[in-house]
Structure 1
């Protein structure tokens, strides 16, 4: 398997790992790109329902999650165009993934301001690891040399 396909698979693998773990007083929730899973009682809600039904009156930091999902889909499309069409600016894809990581940091910081709530942005580490592993040489070469 060639490097662009392995990179695309690594980016796609980010879809099935939790991006953020949230514990609101004993009720753990895993936030995935496709939706969130709350335990006790078990509730699964997809991101589309969340955006179209549940966002009215919620704090602004909670909107970082669906924004991150949209940016992630752009990154997937960018990497996919590199594999299928041979046309991709890897710097753009890497930047999109970094922006996804920042959305999860924003969401976690918003939860951290609430008493009794713990939020761990697991996906930040995983997303940045993918960027570092596959795109750091490209990003390093794009930066101007220090003088």
Structure 2
């Protein structure tokens, strides 16, 4: 246990930076990986869809405003998850910049974003010739658990 106020302050800065880095990196992890019987794949990130075989990218903005007509409801869970993620990201940025944030908001946003990606994976997986892997759910929940646990341990010290 550190008793020196300077050491405690440094530890808080390091913890806030670590939180920011972990949540930020989640924006570059594929949240869902759809594999097709043909051998191709599509990677769903919070910022867009990437199809490596054709090197095509569809941003979430294009998806929302150009390609949503007639799509099944389960795919709309993806942008909802992005909103939950952005709430978490805003929370950790606030904690880093202003030194104050509520870890419960950060964790809740990550957990809910993970839940939305389960729905996306479920919806894609029921289609013939396609399997979806909710990679992001595991990553989002792992970071949420780590952040919650680190704050619980820090408050007990």
Instruction: Name the structure 1 match of 2:131.
Output: 118
Structure 1 residue 108: Cα displacement: 0.4
- Say whether residues 1:54 and 2:85 are aligned partners: no
Distance 1:139 1:45 in 2: 39
On the 8 A contact 1:20/1:123 being kept in 2, the answer is yes
Q: How does 1:35-114 map to 2 (within 5 A)?
A: 35-114=48-127
**Structure 2, unaligned runs of 5 or more:** 1-12
Structure 1 runs of 4+ with >2 Å offset: 24-27, 39-42, 136-140
Looking at structure 1, the residues matched to 54 and 104 of structure 2 have their Cα atoms a distance apart, in angstroms, of 42
More helix by percentage? 2
RMSD: 1.8
CA displacement at 1:134 relative to structure 2: 1.7
Task: Tell which structure's C-alpha radius of gyration is larger.
Answer: 2
After TM superposition, the score normalised by the length of structure 2 is 0.83
Report the count of equivalent residues: 141
Alpha-carbon distance in 1 for matches of 2:37, 2:82: 26
Q: TM-score, normalised by structure 1?
A: 0.89
Q: Please, which runs of 5 or more residues in structure 1 have no aligned partner? A: 141-147
